[in-house]
Structure 1
Amino acid sequence: MTNTLFEQAKPLLEQLEHHGYQAYYVGGCVRDYIMRRPIHDIDITTSATPDEVEALFDKTIPVGKEHGTINVVYQGENYEITTFRAEAEYTDHRRPSEVYFVRELYEDVKRRDFTMNALAMDTDYQLHDYFNGRTDIHHKVIRTVGEAQERFDEDALRILRGLRFQAQLGFDIEQTTYTAMEENCSSLEYLSVERVVVELRKLLSGDEASRGYRNMVGMEAFNYLPYFNHYDMNKMQVVEPLAFTTFLAILNVQQPLEMPLAHLKISNDEKKEVAKLTAMIQALPSLTTKKQLRTYIYDYGAKEAKMCFQLQESLIANDIATASPLIFNMQTIEEIAQQLPIRQRNELDVTGKDLMSHTGLKGGKWVKHALRELELAVVNEQVINQHKALLEWMDQHVEIQ
């Protein structure tokens, strides 16, 4: 069975082979091909050195040349071509003290993390499988290449990768591999928070997120991770795939420690998203009437309200109070969203300047207060969104100080 992405990259391998070098597809793309999962990136490994790769192709980018990787731009696509390499001793549980290039495929794949990722495939779709990776894929098993203790002692990130693959693929972790992961968890403290967050995002979004997360808690991995080591992660339950920001918001509500998100080095947009979701979840118990739900949907948006509704299982699992299903359900959210007279403040038929002109007062906090009262009055159908009607309603109902 051929694959379009492999065929598109094939000329690169053929060019390398034409000049006497070995070249193979390698790693996750081969694993996903065997599993008939969607393939996103094609990685290529070769016996050619980085200098030799650069000499063979017109457009190259030396993104990781010191580690053996050259980015080749071909027909508008970027392909990472990495030289067969071996590694010297790891000194900090993160990276080898030295990388050196070799000419044999076996020497390259034997340094990889798991058997399912140590597969190579040539242009004829013939597998090169030195560690029975295909058998492990067939049996849905995650197993280290070689000695498990050595693999995790070399790079602690492999512990998180193993759990992440379990969450994504639904595989079992082979017992010796699992035991070695447990025994090396303390090495996780050497990892950068950026690397940790990348793996957590993928784990939490996996179809089997609950399984991967449960094992992560079971081996006490969170005790060695920045930010999370301040929380009791045994209390936090993951019962369905979650976005990373949603996970953080639920954790914030369940255990309000007010830990600065800056520790996680996530984007400002994500910090705002976590703050918004936290506020939305905290507000759910107060939704006891349709009027309150209308205000909630207006303030946060129908899309976000629906998302919070879909989180009911996760919230209940984490002992977080939620809204009554008589009020907070998908049908009611849809109905209210469609009936809202306005969806944001700039749709009001008056502005702050209109209010100042009408009252003859200078601007101040009262303007923001009055506009908010007018918004809510329109949303809750107490007044129509018409210039004259709004000013009259304000005169009668808004106390201006």
Structure 2
Amino acid sequence: MSTVLQAASELLERLAQAGYKGFIVGGFVRDRLMKRPTGDLDIASSATPQEILELFDRVHPTGLGHGTVTVMVGDLPIEHTTFRTEGTYSDHRRPDSVQFVTEIEDDLARRDFTVNAIAWNPLADSYIDPFGGRQDVHQGRLRAVGAPRDRLQEDALRILRAVRFATTHDFELDMELRHALAATAHKLKEIAVERIEDELDKILSRSSHPSRGFRLMHELNLLEVILPEFIPMIGQRQNRHHAHDVWDHTLQVLDACPAEPTDFRWAALFHDLGKPLTAEPHPNQQGDFRFFGHEKVSLQISGDIGKRLKFSKARQRRVDQMIAHHMVHPTNDWGDSAIRRLLRKLPGEDLDDYLTFKRADVTGKGTDDVNTLLEQVNRIEERLRREQALGHALQRRDLAIDSHDLMTLASRPGGPWLGALQDALLEAVVEDPSFNQRERLESMARTWLANHFTS
């Protein structure tokens, strides 16, 4: 028995001794039945928050308005909620009111899907399952509790939760639920974008094949509501270097990216958004299309979506770095200075991100030469790592002369000229690392200053 389950059992035993009915509910029960790793554990009982406060020594009132408190069992926090029914959802997110009840069946009736509406008493190893959730778990089926449209209209985020469970737990959507999802898709417009981003993050991070979720979103008309920029990719043909259209290629790259951090998978979704807007028939290859500058358009769209979904600055930067450089294809005939210029553009973890994303993008081509292309990426990585290990100057801070010295040399205060001069010196050093000596840099700086300033 796990530590958290042991703690929950102790809490339930204490409740039973005091005359209350208590159960483990929610995702822990579902995942345990599926023999999947279990996450957070929630308990529901007939005890009110006030009664819990009187029964246990260490209780945190985390959500008294909805009957929720956190009970500390040793060092472990266990969330406890009183059996309840709920009123209407005027904001399509939270119930306007809750009413405490004494029977678990009434509490389970308010939940979203049958697989989440199962109560388990580990003391007796018995289940309360009024809606057939265990059978649905074993049959791999996702059904709503009660009328699907009612459940979805109560909290429209359940629309995306259904897609998430289908993606992460490999559930097939019940046909009645599927119809209700498509019919209520427009309700997603009423959901706060932060909640949508969070749910999309879970789809991206908790499945080895997140593409299934995005295919479902397309089938159910959800993409048109939350990510309409994706629609033009569907059916956009490419060229002989790709086995898939832009949409299917995007989903192949998505699955090939690591799950953590999810920035990789967001980059996969966004990296070719500009292709439909830049597509033009190839003049010499019938049936092929080319997409000049599509990565720049993809960057613009990425910024628009990121702003709408309220991405953090760190996420937006990392995603955009991968998009900006995914069309940089080093070849074996690149000289050392070209390799150093690429390293200059990819400082720190950006180099690792570039290589990881490059491999995913190549894998997503789906052509017969994928293995050959991946070997080329490996060879390029060897050159990049080898050059990186030499420690040559790649950033302004690596120059053998600093900004203070340059201002003294110029007898000028800092300004835009200083960055321009540093970049000119750095370009010379990247071309030939032997130039990174103070005397040589001073000489080049004097020449640059003479050419840019008149006395």
What TM-score, normalized by structure 1, do the two folds share?
0.85
Distance 1:376 1:38 in 2: 52
Shift of residue 316 of structure 1? Answer: 5.0
- Counterpart position of 2:48: 49
1:141 maps to amino acid: R
Matched, 1:123 2:122: yes
Distance 1:371 1:307 in 2: 31
CA separation of 1:297/1:215 partners in 2, compared to 1, >3 Å: closer, same or farther? same
Structure 1 window deviating more from structure 2 (135-144 vs 206-215): it is 135-144
> Are the aligned partners of 2:116 and 2:133 in contact in 1 as well (CA < 8 Å)?
yes
Distance 2:363 2:72 in 1: 44
Distance 2:342 2:384 in 1: 10
Shift of residue 18 of structure 1? Answer: 1.8
Distance 1:309 1:394 in 2: 38
> Are the aligned partners of 1:309 and 1:330 in contact in 2 as well (CA < 8 Å)?
no
Aligned length: 391
What SS class does the counterpart of residue 304 from structure 2 fall into? coil
Distance 1:314 1:216 in 2: 23
Mapping 1:76-155, distance limit 5 Å: 76-124=75-123, 125-155=125-155
Distance 2:339 2:137 in 1: 48
Picking from 273, 279, 283, the partner of 2:324 is 279
CA separation of 1:116/1:245 partners in 2, compared to 1, >3 Å: closer, same or farther? same
Distance 2:307 2:442 in 1: 44
Shift of residue 362 of structure 1? Answer: 4.3
CA separation of 1:310/1:119 partners in 2, compared to 1, >3 Å: closer, same or farther? farther
> Are the aligned partners of 2:7 and 2:76 in contact in 1 as well (CA < 8 Å)?
no
CA separation of 1:73/1:21 partners in 2, compared to 1, >3 Å: closer, same or farther? same
For structure 1, list consecutive stretches of 5 or more residues without a partner in the other structure.
Answer: 318-323
1:152 maps to amino acid: L
Picking from 395, 399, 421, the partner of 1:348 is 399
Distance 2:117 2:338 in 1: 56
> Are the aligned partners of 2:87 and 2:96 in contact in 1 as well (CA < 8 Å)?
yes
> Are the aligned partners of 2:355 and 2:377 in contact in 1 as well (CA < 8 Å)?
no
Shift of residue 70 of structure 1? Answer: 0.7
- Counterpart position of 1:251: 270
> Are the aligned partners of 2:229 and 2:273 in contact in 1 as well (CA < 8 Å)?
no
> Are the aligned partners of 2:24 and 2:119 in contact in 1 as well (CA < 8 Å)?
yes
Distance 1:192 1:208 in 2: 26
> Are the aligned partners of 1:120 and 1:129 in contact in 2 as well (CA < 8 Å)?
yes
Distance 1:24 1:344 in 2: 59
Shift of residue 334 of structure 1? Answer: 3.3
> Are the aligned partners of 1:350 and 1:390 in contact in 2 as well (CA < 8 Å)?
yes
- Counterpart position of 1:388: 439
Shift of residue 164 of structure 1? Answer: 0.9
Mapping 1:257-296, distance limit 5 Å: 257=301, 259=304, 261-281=306-326, 284=328, 289-290=334-335, 291-296=337-342
- Counterpart position of 1:177: 177
Structure 1 window deviating more from structure 2 (378-387 vs 160-169): it is 378-387
What SS class does the counterpart of residue 289 from structure 1 fall into? coil
Shift of residue 244 of structure 1? Answer: 4.8
Deviation string 1:330-363 (CA, Å, 9 cap, x unpaired) is 4444334334424644333321112233454543
Mapping 1:224-235, distance limit 5 Å: 224-225=225-226, 228-229=227-228, 232=231, 234-235=233-234
Shift of residue 397 of structure 1? Answer: 7.7
Structure 1 window deviating more from structure 2 (174-183 vs 370-379): it is 370-379
> Are the aligned partners of 2:322 and 2:354 in contact in 1 as well (CA < 8 Å)?
no
What SS class does the counterpart of residue 111 from structure 1 fall into? coil
Shift of residue 139 of structure 1? Answer: 2.2
- Counterpart position of 2:277: none
What SS class does the counterpart of residue 273 from structure 1 fall into? helix
Matched, 1:304 2:353: yes
CA separation of 1:314/1:265 partners in 2, compared to 1, >3 Å: closer, same or farther? farther
- Counterpart position of 1:67: 66
Deviation string 1:205-236 (CA, Å, 9 cap, x unpaired) is 222210111110221113333xx345536545
Picking from 238, 241, 255, the partner of 2:251 is 238
- Counterpart position of 2:32: 33
CA separation of 1:393/1:214 partners in 2, compared to 1, >3 Å: closer, same or farther? same
Deviation string 1:76-120 (CA, Å, 9 cap, x unpaired) is 332211111111233343333321111111111122111221122
CA separation of 1:362/1:11 partners in 2, compared to 1, >3 Å: closer, same or farther? same
Give % identity. 30
Distance 1:100 1:137 in 2: 29
What RMSD, in angstroms, separates the aligned Cα atoms of the two structures?
3.0
Shift of residue 48 of structure 1? Answer: 0.7
Distance 1:126 1:331 in 2: 58
Structure 1 window deviating more from structure 2 (260-269 vs 243-252): it is 243-252
Shift of residue 327 of structure 1? Answer: 6.5
What SS class does the counterpart of residue 131 from structure 2 fall into? coil
Deviation string 1:273-330 (CA, Å, 9 cap, x unpaired) is 344334333x62688835434322333232222233233148758xxxxxx8747844
What SS class does the counterpart of residue 194 from structure 1 fall into? helix
Deviation string 1:357-385 (CA, Å, 9 cap, x unpaired) is 34545433232123223334444444254
Distance 1:219 1:345 in 2: 51
> Are the aligned partners of 2:7 and 2:73 in contact in 1 as well (CA < 8 Å)?
no
What SS class does the counterpart of residue 254 from structure 1 fall into? coil
CA separation of 1:376/1:56 partners in 2, compared to 1, >3 Å: closer, same or farther? farther
Distance 1:231 1:25 in 2: 40
What SS class does the counterpart of residue 37 from structure 1 fall into? coil
